[in-house]
């Protein structure tokens, strides 16, 4: 069998899955976003730009979109700060403890999303364990209202997204030759100089992969903002679900979803272009 045909045969199932579960739904959603609203049917026969005009012209939807992207950037930054030391430790731990530490890192993913969020609701509730501990330590005089606000949503999302940042960075750091650290030390570099000139640049491909992954997951999160944020944390995913299921405005909901996808893709492309020179330099060093 000729090599090109064998390659096409091997890749055919993947291409078929991508077409059925990615290209086809997205294509249908894009087409639906240009349809007019109709009563008694998901959308009418007429084509219109009114749905996108409503998204761009309404300050409410633009503010929700900017808040969603800003919250995604905040959660991504916090996750990166917490995950990098964990990834460094995971990449350097001995083989015997590697599996144990790996299990601790991925443990947030082993619990269902509803169970995990209800756990957070119990912990930070008005009479929950956290308030009881703070009262017992004398740090507060009365229980704090910790539920249904932005900080608890951010903390809960960071908690679950840490593995998605740790694992790519740990893989990038694990591929670094240990001799580079020895060479840096033998040339007189101190610990922080080795980190800035060797460790951090060589981990950039993993950092970029983790940042993109966590950012996309953050802006599309739905269950955690609904359960822990209540009506006070309004994100684009909640608005889209309300339009699709609450008021059955499928064309406008599709326009909102496409608008958020375009905005997130633009940010990811910009971030990739900014990081490209650094990742190319890292590839030459590797």
Quote the distance between the C-alpha of residue 34 and its chain's center. Answer: 28
Angle value at C-alpha 274, between 270 and 277, nearest 5 degrees: 140
Domain-located, residue 150: yes
Domain-located, residue 33: no
**282 pLDDT tier (thresholds 50, 70, 90):** low
Question: How many domains, the chain?
Answer: 1
Domain-located, residue 31: no
- Give me the pLDDT at residue 132, please: 93
Number of other CB atoms surrounding residue 195 within 10 Å: 16
Domain-located, residue 116: yes
Total residues belonging to the chain: 286
Domain that holds residue 165: 53-96+104-281
Q: What are phi and psi of 35, to 5 degrees?
A: -90, 155
**61 pLDDT tier (thresholds 50, 70, 90):** very high
Please determine, for residue 259, whether its predicted confidence score (pLDDT) is greater than 80: yes
Domain-located, residue 231: yes
Please provide the average confidence, as pLDDT, over all residues in the chain. 88
- Give me the pLDDT at residue 5, please: 78
Number of other CB atoms surrounding residue 99 within 10 Å: 9
- Using CB atoms within 10 A of its CB, is residue 260 exposed (0-12), middle (13-18) or buried (19+)? buried
Domain-located, residue 79: yes
- Give me the pLDDT at residue 284, please: 62
Here the CATH number for the domain that contains residue 80 is: 1.10.3720.10
Domain-located, residue 221: yes
């Amino acid at each position: 069998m000729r090599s090109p045909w064998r390659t096409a045969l091997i890749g055919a199932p993947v291409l078929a899955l991508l077409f059925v579960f990615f290209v086809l739904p997205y294509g249908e959603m894009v087409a639906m976003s240009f349809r007019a609203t109709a009563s008694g049917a998901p959308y009418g026969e007429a084509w219109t730009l009114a749905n996108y005009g409503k998204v761009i012209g309404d300050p409410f939807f633009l503010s929700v979109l900017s808040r969603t992207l800003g919250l995604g950037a905040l959660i991504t930054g916090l996750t990166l700060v917490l995950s990098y030391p964990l990834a460094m430790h995971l990449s350097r731990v001995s083989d015997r403890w590697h599996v144990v530490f790996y299990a601790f890192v991925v443990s947030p993913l082993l619990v269902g999303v509803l169970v995990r969020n209800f756990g957070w609701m119990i912990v930070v509730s008005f009479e929950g364990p956290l308030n009881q501990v703070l009262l017992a330590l004398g740090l507060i005089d009365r229980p704090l209202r910790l539920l249904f606000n932005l900080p608890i949503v951010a903390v809960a999302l960071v908690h679950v997204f840490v593995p998605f940042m740790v694992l790519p960075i740990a893989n990038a750091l694990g591929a670094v030759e240990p001799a580079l650290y020895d060479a840096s030390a033998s040339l007189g570099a101190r610990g922080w100089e080795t980190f800035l000139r060797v460790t951090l640049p060589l981990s950039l491909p993993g950092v970029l992969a983790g940042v993109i992954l966590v950012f996309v997951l953050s802006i599309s999160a739905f269950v955690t903002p609904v359960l822990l944020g209540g009506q006070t944390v309004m994100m684009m995913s909640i608005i889209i679900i309300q339009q699709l299921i609450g008021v059955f405005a499928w064309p406008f909901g599709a326009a909102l979803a496409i608008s958020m996808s375009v905005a997130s893709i633009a940010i990811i492309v910009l971030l990739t272009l900014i990081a490209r020179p650094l990742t190319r330099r890292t590839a030459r060093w590797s």
